Each structure stands twice: as C-alpha cells, then as structure tokens.
Amino acid sequence: MRFEDIDLHRTVEHVLAGGELDRETARALLACPDERLDDLLAAVMRVREASFGRRVKLCVLSNAQSGICSEDCHYCSQSRISRADIPVYRLKTTDTLLREAEAALQSGANRYCMVCSMRGPAVRDVALLAETCEQVSRRFPGLELCLSLGLMSREQASELKSAGAGWINHNLNTSRRFYPSICTTHTWDDRVATIENVRRAGLKTCCGGIIGMGETDDDVLDLAYATRRLAVDSLPINFLSPIGKTPLENARWLTPERCLKAVCVFRLLNPQTEVRAAGGRELNLGARQPDLFKAVNSIFVNGYLTTPGWDYERTLRLIEGAGFEPEPQSA
Ligand code: SF4
C-alpha cells in the first residue's frame, strides 16, 4: 500500500469509531511523502482534538539519582558504558525532592516525575521514595506524581501507590527484535513484565520509546502496536539526542518530518492515550515543533535528565503560538 492509496478521512473516522489501524496502513502512513505531511497532520489533529481538545499537559523531570547505573542502554549518558561527562550522585533526599516538586508546580507543571538511574530500586530506595511521595502528595495534592525506577516488582509498585504515587514510567524504548542492539543487560520482556506489575498494583503506566537509534520502520510499528496492546496510560516518545561518549553519539538519522510521521502513527494507534513529545524535541524538531501538538497532548518543560531543554516561558510561547493552551493546574 502507498500513502496515496489511503483515504485519510475514512482512516480517521475508523480510528474515532474505535477501530484499529491495520499494519499496512500504519506502514504507509509512516512512509508518508514529506510534501503530504501537512495532510497527515491535519487528519491526526482530529483524533487528538477528540480526546484532548487543544490542551497541552506539562511535565517536569527530576534526575533523582544520576550516573551510577549498572545497565548498558546504548542511548543513555548514565549507563555503565557511557563516558559522558555528567553529574554523578546517589538518591536525593526527601527534602530536596520536595523542594523540586514545589519548583515544578511553580513552573507550570501538571506532573512531576522522579527518575532514578538504576536497574531497579533497593528496599531503602523504595522506602525513601515512598516517604517522598507521601509528603509531595500531602503538600501538593493536585500535582500528578510519577516515578521511573527501572525494573520493579508488583510489591514495590504497591508500596509506592500506597504512599501517593499515581504513575510509574518504564519505557519499552524500541521493538522486541531491535532491543538486543541497544541493551544487553536486561530484555524487552523484562520491561514488559514491569509494566504489567505496575498495572497490577493499580498504578497508571507511562511507557513509550525512543526513535532515531537505527531502528527500521517495522521496529517503530512494533513499538507502536506494543503500546496499544499494553493499553498504556501515558506514552512518551523521545527523539534521540545523541550524547557524546555513548555508543550512539554519531546517530544522525532523524529529520523533523520523520519525527512527526512517527508521532502521528503512535497517536492513531493510541487515540485516547496521553501522548508526550519527550527528550530531543528541541534538537530534532527545531522550527517544526509547533506541528507536534497536532498529535501529542503533552510535553516536558525545563529540560531532561542530563540534557537541557526549553524553560516554561519559552515552552508557553511555543504552545500558544501554535494555537494550543496549557492544561490548567489543579494544585
Ligand atoms: S536502565 Fe535507565 S539509567 Fe540505566 S542505563 Fe538504562 S536508561 Fe540509563
């Protein structure tokens, strides 16, 4: 099937009626000619608006433990094989994380996500983070609280839920087929098991991936269908920001158009899921960032784990300039 053979109006109607995009159509959409991308974005905008109107949710990250990970994820500056010059420290204190949560709220965030560089949390990590969740949720009840702690058991997830966490992030990152090319210290199936543990504990799941690591179109489609099958609640899509002295430091495969086509396919396969433009959007989308909002309904502000990003004021101008509006804070 070619892109030209697709009736975009009918495709959108099918998706809005609850139908699943078939794989051949999804493949043809991902291969959309650049000169037809605006048509694709206009069609996808109808799906985005149906669930989220013109609202954009803002999320702020805290790199709660940095640079001491035992894993070898090739894209990551904090992995054991990275030689990137990044801050290295153990888990921040509850007081520090609490102050950062307050700062996140003041900078317009709807969600605050504490991310730890680790294979999975130790007992003391879960205890400290549970204490932090209790305090953050008591002080700032409207702030959505998310944690990203690597591989987790159901019991660990339950402990954090009881303490006030609402979401756990754990990305699949790419397809099951391509996963061994980007990480050898754990498997794609390990990651799926964590998502299932999180769901069984009653927490919402945040699970997406990274494009631009050398994957094929079929890998992108596999990931997009996997997120649909897992019915994830939140879906961050990162656009690889190659970091010096990591195995992917020379990866330069992305174009703004490629990024936009991918987010369109993720949106059509996950029409009611929160889809987020995550790391690398400033670097890889450049002047086409406003088009992202036609597919995604959420972005990060104030940078990423070890790379900088746009602050709230600049991001607000981007959102409003594109004809969208930030989601009101409830805290
Ligand atoms: S598990 Fe997380 S922190 Fe560790 S190397 Fe992989 S992505 Fe980086």
Task: Return d(Cα 6, Cα 9) in angstroms, integer.
Answer: 9
Q: How many domains does the chain have?
A: 1
How close are the terminal C-alpha atoms of the chain, in Å?
Answer: 48
Q: Which atom of ligand 1 is nearest to the CA of 71?
A: 5
117 lines ligand 1 (CB under 6 A): yes
**Domain housing 61:** 3-326
Torsion of Cα atoms, 98 then 103 then 105 then 111, to 10°: -70
The CA-CA-CA angle for residues 128, 130, 133, to 5°, reads 115
Residue 214: other Cβ atoms inside 10 A = 14
pLDDT score at 247: 96
Task: Return d(Cα 168, Cα 129) in angstroms, integer.
Answer: 12
Place of tokens 């013109």: 54
58 lines ligand 1 (CB under 6 A): no
pLDDT score at 331: 58
CA of 206 to the centre of ligand 1 (A): 16
Q: Which atom of ligand 1 is nearest to the CA of 80?
A: 5
CA of 76 to the centre of ligand 1 (A): 6
Asked if residue 286 belongs to a domain, the reply is: yes
Do 234 and 273 touch, CB atoms closer than 8 A?
A: yes
pLDDT score at 107: 87
Catalytic residue among 48, 55, 59, 113: 113
78 lines ligand 1 (CB under 6 A): yes
Asked if residue 232 belongs to a domain, the reply is: yes
Task: Tell me the torsion sign for CA atoms 99, 296, 249, 223.
Answer: positive
Q: What's 17's domain CATH number? A: 3.20.20.70
For 158-178, write each residue's pLDDT tens digit.
999 999 999 999 999 999 999
What are the structure tokens assigned to 41, written together?
């974005």
Residues of the chain under the 70 pLDDT cut:
331
Three-state DSSP class for residue 50: helix
Going by alpha carbons, the residue nearest to atom 3 of ligand 1 is: 117
Nearest to 113 by CA among 101, 99, 125: 101
What count of residues does the chain have? 331
Name the H helices within 174-311.
179-182, 188-200, 217-229, 256-269, 281-285, 289-292
pLDDT score at 287: 97
Catalytic residue among 59, 146, 183, 259: 146
223 lines ligand 1 (CB under 6 A): no
Asked if residue 331 belongs to a domain, the reply is: no
Q: Has 206 been annotated as catalytic?
A: yes
Nearest to 44 by CA among 258, 257, 268: 268
Q: Has 119 been annotated as catalytic?
A: no
238 lines ligand 1 (CB under 6 A): no
Nearest to 294 by CA among 315, 324, 272: 324
17 Cβ neighbours under 8 A, 6+ residues apart: none
Task: Return d(Cα 302, Cα 313) in angstroms, integer.
Answer: 10
- In this prediction the pTM is 0.97
